[in-house]
Amino acid sequence: MANSVTITIDGKQISAAEGDKLLWVALENGIYIPHLCGIKEKEKPDASCRLCFVEVEGMANPVTSCTLPVTDGMVVKTRTERVDRLIATGFELLLTNHRLGCAKCAKNGSCQLQKIAKERGLKLRLTRLRSVLKEMQTDDSLGSVAFDPSRCVLCGQCVWADRKENKGNIGFIRRGISRKVSTFGEVPLAESGCTRCGKCVEVCPVGALVKNS
Amino acid sequence: MSVLGTDTQKTYQELKDQAVQAVEGLNTKSYVLVGTATCGRAAGALNVLETFRSEIGKHNVDAEIIEVGCMGHCYAEPMVIVYKPGFPKICYGSVDEGIATRLVTDFLVNDDPCFDFAMAALEPNDFFPTFEDFPRGVYEQKVVLSDCGLIAPDDIEQYIARDGYGGLAKALSKEPERVITEVKDSNLRGRGGAGFPTGVKWEICRNAEGDTKYVICNADEGDPGAFIDRALLESNPHQLIEGLAIAAYAIGASQGYIYVRAEYPLAIERLKTAIGQAREKGIIGNSVMGSNFSFDIKIFQGSGAFVCGEETALIASIEGNAGIPNHRPPFPAVSGLHGKPTIINNVKTLSYITHIIRNGAEWFKSIGTPGTPGTAVFALAGKVVGTGLVEVPMGTTIRTLIYDVADGIKNEKNFKAVQIGGPSGGCLPESSLDLPIDFDSLQQAGAMMGSGGLVVLDEEDCMVEIARFFLEFTQNESCGKCTFCRLGTKQMLDILTDITKGKGKLEDIDLLLELAVDIKAGSLCALGKTAPNPVLTTIRFFRDEYEAHITEGRCPALMCKELITYVIDEKKCSKLCDACIGSCPVEAVYTRSDMLKDIYLDKCVKCDNCLVTCLPLYQAVIKVSPPIEAGGNQNG
Amino acid sequence: MELMEGELEKITAEVEQVIKDQGTERERLIPILQGVQEKLGYLPKEAMKKVAEAVEVSEVEIYEIATFYNQFRLNPPGKHQIKVCMGTACHMTGGNIIMESFERRLDIKEGETTPDREFSLERVACVGCCALAPVVVVDENVEAKVRPTRVDGILLGFDMEKKAAEKEMQKAASEQKTQEEEG
């Protein structure tokens, strides 16, 4: 059993198990920090969405809270000028490659991007940056599930869920701006060995993997 | 331990005696050293090698032909060194088949050393100057390059005869901790980029918990513009193997890896041969030189991903995954390959190790600056006369490097900037020429030592275009995992591309600066964190060029294709010549009724052929910016 | 891409051999894929499936790796591979102009193969011959200081080689024919 430590987040004293990652400690104590890629049980966090930045006393620069083990006496601020600026830019960058139009999205109302926008007062449209979105076809091959890669934020939740549940049918292919979630040989999901377990749909934080109504 | 040390020394002495004997045997007759590293080959070294073989055979000369690596004078490739008893060793540059034939018939058969073709002698003599008599030789101080191009990389005896593996033998007679202390005392800083103290890294790894530890040599030299590691691997692989073995002994590892990029096939081949020879001699394997230290090396071939130069991505790649970086900490020195403590050092860093162990930390510190002791190895490319590899003490100024060591700018053009450190580095202007080069001074100036690529740019190089080029490179090489690098560099690239096409807006410059700050702070790994550097430095020092593109639609360097037009100056064009017409791939160049030539602007694809082919006597094809609209200059 | 008759057998045999040489540890995965590509020139889907099975990883993981690294090809390359260096020094001395010249002459884009499978055109990040820029790697040979006009020369060389080979073949065929007639 790990030692219990006391940390301060935004002035609130919280006790937590030493070594637990700050993101989860904060969330479990009702303090919201934006996040998309975080998976609590993952030993090595991806730290890829770059939205969970916080400032910690004694550290020169903002840090990702999903990778930061808590230590006794740690003093954390979730809202500072630098943190807000980083998160705002990271968020808008994600939107440059995300098909907007919430009204037509099945995830409208339960989308994590909407949540982040609401919590942090961010706009769900591009203000400074330009769209780099490419036209991509929705994969409706499964019938019951629709996969729209143009709404995907590459958080990796579905890939993790799929590998935990099945032998692994989806993954991150290519790299850089072309990186995307797809299957072996980029065949439609129905031909990928998909078991229709539905786990990927459960974990998708945005409208990329949704149940077809 | 001390007893083992004596054994090691004895084993080494035996190896060395054998080697010295073998090498002395070489000096009793003539030999020809041909530099056949990749750059030599590109310039035709293999044909030269073949000519020597056939001519020596034809004339029945008793001479050995030995393939060696690179002496660093790339501008003079192919290079050969000819030795004939009774003469000093002489080096010849820009050798072709004709010169090779003459060297055999005139020099080896008769006694005329063909001074007309000679560059320098290798040792002082009464006939011909040595390399030390030229400015390059005066300013250079070779440590890791000292044997490159002078010894056969595939002959371990030649390395041992020059005290090679003496550092390993000496290290094995000490406690590992004392080896680390020596390296720490030397204040050697990792030459891979950031300049982290090597000894400290080793100590962290030595002290990390675990029985299994690894050493990895990072030879994934991906910086487009650096070729130092390639030259070291192709010219003196044993120096690296020795450094790796010492590192392994110091931290307590028995398995080493060398991660080489696949674009370096010759380096891989020479490294494989060298490892095989070291194994045969008992220098690696079970019981290294008779000690109780066991060590072996595997070569891991990269598959073409620049990001694998990043430590955690390199480890992921060896483990059999896509080379995608992970968050640090944990640092590899604590938890690296297969979760075991691992040190990853660059080729250059490891190549220094044996010299530090052989000559001591104090010797190393006597070279260079207090903050960064030792030498700096640079790959000089671009618009300088003396391109190639140079090794100078840290603290040498950029001016000395460009104007003294490399003999100035090509074709009497004006210096504009120097790009140091590749995609992570920056462009420094004329006002930075007197900057003494070391890790800290470059960082302060906004550049980075990086992997030692130094590309000199002149008035014909566009600074917006070079920033765009590097962003395109990092954008292509981004692994795509994290938001800031994947999408942030894409934003910057799109903005820069617009500017080079004359479609930029003045606000774009501010947006570039804002994005640069956030990408540096927000990215997961060093690739993203340093990607904005080329943009930041070019805006800082060459903002006027950005503005000329944006407000005037003009590329001052006449480089950005969309902003230039090729025209023929009718005052310079000759009626007698039509070289340009033949060179045009799209029939855009034509002869007017008055026999002068002109270009149909709407057909021109700006391939540069006509400009290149137009005789130097005329130089009638010129570029103008801002561009002329098609139909605006049709005077024929 | 459809496989031709006999190709599957060849793929299976080569993959099995490479796996036999390399072993099936996860750490050997990338060397196995490199070995397969060396033998076959590219990574056919069938080969990737076999490798996945042998190393016991999912097929999509193999595909992740095969699409991540520049070196891996999913389609067969041309007979001659032209790699234009796009390193800093090459770029600043006109590497992109060289690339465009090849694209124009071969009528393909970078990353593509000509329909007759004679040439494939690729960009490489840097081959480390910066002092001799711009550089093009044609098959295994490094061509230094390539000017746009040299592009035609390089391709013409192959063209002549091909014609000479065809002539040889014709000659051999007609000789054989004469022999047969005489015999």
From residue B58, alpha-carbon distances to B92, B104, B338, C175 in Å are: 22, 10, 57, 36
Where do we find the tokens 């320098």?
B120
Strand-pairing partners, residue B66, are B33
Q: DSSP string spanning B190-234?
A: -TTTT--BHHHHHHHHHHSS-S--EEEEEE----TT--HHHHHHH
> Would you state the structure tokens that stand for residue A177, as one six-digit string?
């701006």
Pick the closest to residue B269 from B158, B389, B154, B151 (CA basis).
B154
Contact criterion met (CB below 8 Å) for B408 and B396: no
Q: Which residues of chain A does CATH 3.10.20.740 include? A: 4-80
Domain covering B564-624 in this structure, CATH number: 3.30.70.20
- Amino acid identity, residue B90? I
A128 touches chain B (CB under 8 A): yes
Contact criterion met (CB below 8 Å) for B211 and B338: no
From residue B446, alpha-carbon distances to A172, B348, B419, B449, B533 in Å are: 35, 23, 11, 10, 7
State chain B's maximal CA–CA distance in angstroms.
Answer: 93
Residue C16 pLDDT > 90, yes or no? Answer: yes
pLDDT under 50 in chain B at which residues? 1-3, 633-636
Contact criterion met (CB below 8 Å) for B319 and C26: yes
ipTM above 0.95, yes or no: yes
Q: What is the mean pLDDT of chain A?
A: 96
- Amino acid identity, residue A141? S
In this complex, the residue of A85, A97, A130 whose CB is nearest that of residue B518 is: A85
B479 touches chain C (CB under 8 A): yes
Q: What is the pLDDT of residue C15?
A: 96
Q: Is the domain defined by A136-213 classed in CATH 3.40.50.300?
A: no
pLDDT range class, residue C147, cuts 50, 70, 90: confident
Pick the closest to residue B403 from B386, B381, B425 (CA basis).
B386
Contact state of A177 with B522 under an 8 Å Cβ cutoff: no
pLDDT range class, residue C183, cuts 50, 70, 90: low
Q: Which residues of B touch C140 (CB under 8 A)?
A: 265
In this complex, the residue of C97, C101, C128 whose CB is nearest that of residue B230 is: C128
3.40.710.10, 3.40.30.10, 3.40.190.10, 1.10.1740.10: CATH of B11-133: 3.40.30.10
Q: Looking at the complex, report in whole angstroms how far the Cα of residue C139 sits from the nearest Cα belonging to chain A.
A: 26
Q: What is the pLDDT of residue C140?
A: 83
Distance CA B108, CA B104 (A): 5
Q: Looking at the complex, report in whole angstroms how far the Cα of residue A213 sits from the nearest Cα belonging to chain B.
A: 31
Alpha helix segments (H runs only) across B236-298: 237-251, 265-280
* CATH architecture designation of domain B375-458: Roll (3.10)
The CATH T-level fold of domain A4-80 is Ubiquitin-like (UB roll) (3.10.20)
**Best mutation target, A80, A129, A133, A134, to test chain B (most B CBs within 10 A):** A129
Q: What is the pLDDT of residue B2?
A: 43
Q: What is the dihedral of CA B598, B600, B603, B609, to 10 degrees?
A: 10
Strand-pairing partners, residue B258, are B217, B299
Contact criterion met (CB below 8 Å) for B216 and B309: no
| pLDDT tens digit sequence for B305-342 | 999 999 999 999 999 999 999 999 999 999 999 999 99
- Amino acid identity, residue A84? D
What are the start-end ranges of the E strands in B79-147? 80-83, 90-92, 118-121
Chain C: touching chains (3 or more CB pairs < 8 Å): A, B
Distance CA C144, CA C142 (A): 6
Which one-letter DSSP state was computed for residue B572?
Answer: T
Where do we find the tokens 């700006």?
B606
Can you give the residue ranges of every domain in chain B?
11-133, 164-364, 375-458, 463-552, 564-624
pLDDT under 70 in chain A at which residues? 1
Alpha helix segments (H runs only) across B501-608: 506-522, 526-530, 533-547, 579-583
C104 touches chain B (CB under 8 A): yes
Chain Cα centroid distance, residue C90: 22
Q: How many CA atoms lie within 13 A of C59 on its CB side?
A: 19
| pLDDT tens digit sequence for C72-120 | 999 999 999 999 998 888 888 889 889 999 999 999 999 899 999 999 9
- Amino acid identity, residue A8? T
Q: Which residues of A touch C67 (CB under 8 A)?
A: 173-175
Q: Looking at the complex, report in whole angstroms how far the Cα of residue C70 sits from the nearest Cα belonging to chain A.
A: 10
Q: What is the pLDDT of residue B417?
A: 96
Beta B565-568 vs B621-624: how paired, if at all?
antiparallel
From residue B177, alpha-carbon distances to B83, B291, B623, B624 in Å are: 44, 17, 63, 65
Contact state of C67 with A169 under an 8 Å Cβ cutoff: no
Contact state of B583 with C149 under an 8 Å Cβ cutoff: yes
| Residue B78: cis peptide before it, omega within 30 degrees of 0 | yes
> Would you state the structure tokens that stand for residue A198, as one six-digit string?
């539905």
| Residue A205: cis peptide before it, omega within 30 degrees of 0 | no
Q: Looking at the complex, report in whole angstroms how far the Cα of residue B227 sits from the nearest Cα belonging to chain C.
A: 5
Q: Which residues of A touch C58 (CB under 8 A)?
A: 163, 167-169, 171, 184
In this complex, the residue of A44, A49, A176 whose CB is nearest that of residue B326 is: A44
B512 touches chain C (CB under 8 A): no
H/E stretch holding B598 reads strand B597-599
Q: What is the pLDDT of residue B451?
A: 82
Distance CA C138, CA C118 (A): 12
Q: Is the domain defined by B463-552 classed in CATH 1.20.1440.230?
A: yes
Q: Is the domain defined by C80-178 classed in CATH 3.40.30.10?
A: yes
Nearest CA in chain A to C64: A173
C150 touches chain B (CB under 8 A): no
Pick the closest to residue B179 from B346, B293, B12, B256 (CA basis).
B293
CB atoms within 10 A of CB A132: 15
Per-residue b or e along B457-488, where b marks 16 or more CB atoms closer than 10 Å to that residue's CB: bbebbbbbbbbbbbbbbbbbbbbbbbbbbbbb
Residue B44: phi, psi to the nearest 5? 110, 20
Distance CA B608, CA B623 (A): 10
Strand-pairing partners, residue A173, are A180
Q: What is the pLDDT of residue B635?
A: 45
| pLDDT tens digit sequence for A66-83 | 999 999 999 999 999 999
Contact state of A173 with C58 under an 8 Å Cβ cutoff: no
- Amino acid identity, residue A99? R
- Amino acid identity, residue B295? F
Q: Which residues of C touch A173 (CB under 8 A)?
A: 60, 63-64, 67-68
Contact criterion met (CB below 8 Å) for B176 and B168: no
Helix (H, G, I), strand (E, B) or coil at C118: coil
Distance CA B73, CA B40 (A): 10
> Would you state the structure tokens that stand for residue B300, as one six-digit string?
């891991």
Distance CA B513, CA B540 (A): 10
- Amino acid identity, residue B635? N
The CATH T-level fold of domain B164-364 is Rossmann fold (3.40.50)
In this complex, the residue of C97, C131, C141 whose CB is nearest that of residue B381 is: C131
Q: What is the pLDDT of residue C126?
A: 77
Rounded to 10°, the helix B347-359/B237-251 angle is 80
Pick the closest to residue B216 from B180, B249, B252, B259 (CA basis).
B259
In this complex, the residue of B221, B319, B455 whose CB is nearest that of residue C26 is: B319
Distance CA B137, CA B134 (A): 5
Which one-letter DSSP state was computed for residue A31?
Answer: -
| pLDDT tens digit sequence for B13-71 | 999 999 999 999 888 999 999 999 988 998 999 999 999 999 999 999 999 999 999 99
**What's the sign of the alpha-carbon dihedral A168, A173, A175, A177?**
negative
C62 touches chain A (CB under 8 A): yes
Q: What is the pLDDT of residue B634?
A: 44
Q: How many helices (H) and strands (E) does chain B have?
A: 25, 18
> Would you state the structure tokens that stand for residue B354, as one six-digit string?
């044996």
Q: How many CA atoms lie within 13 A of B464 on its CB side?
A: 33
Contact state of C60 with A174 under an 8 Å Cβ cutoff: no
Q: Which residues of chain A does CATH 3.30.70.20 include? A: 136-213
Q: Which of residues 168-197 of A touch C (CB under 8 A)?
A: 168-175, 182-185, 192
Helix (H, G, I), strand (E, B) or coil at A145: strand
Q: How many CA atoms lie within 13 A of B204 on its CB side?
A: 17
Where do we find the tokens 């490479």?
C18
C27 touches chain B (CB under 8 A): yes
The CA-based angle B327-B330-B331, given to 5 degrees, is: 95
Distance CA B589, CA B599 (A): 4
Per-residue b or e along A162-176, where b marks 16 or more CB atoms closer than 10 Å to that residue's CB: bbeebebbbbbbbbb
Pick the closest to residue A213 from A133, A106, A131 (CA basis).
A106
Q: What is the pLDDT of residue B631?
A: 60
> Would you state the structure tokens that stand for residue C58, as one six-digit string?
């999912």
Chain B: touching chains (3 or more CB pairs < 8 Å): A, C
Distance CA A21, CA B619 (A): 67
Q: What is the pLDDT of residue A1?
A: 57
Q: What is the pLDDT of residue B5?
A: 61
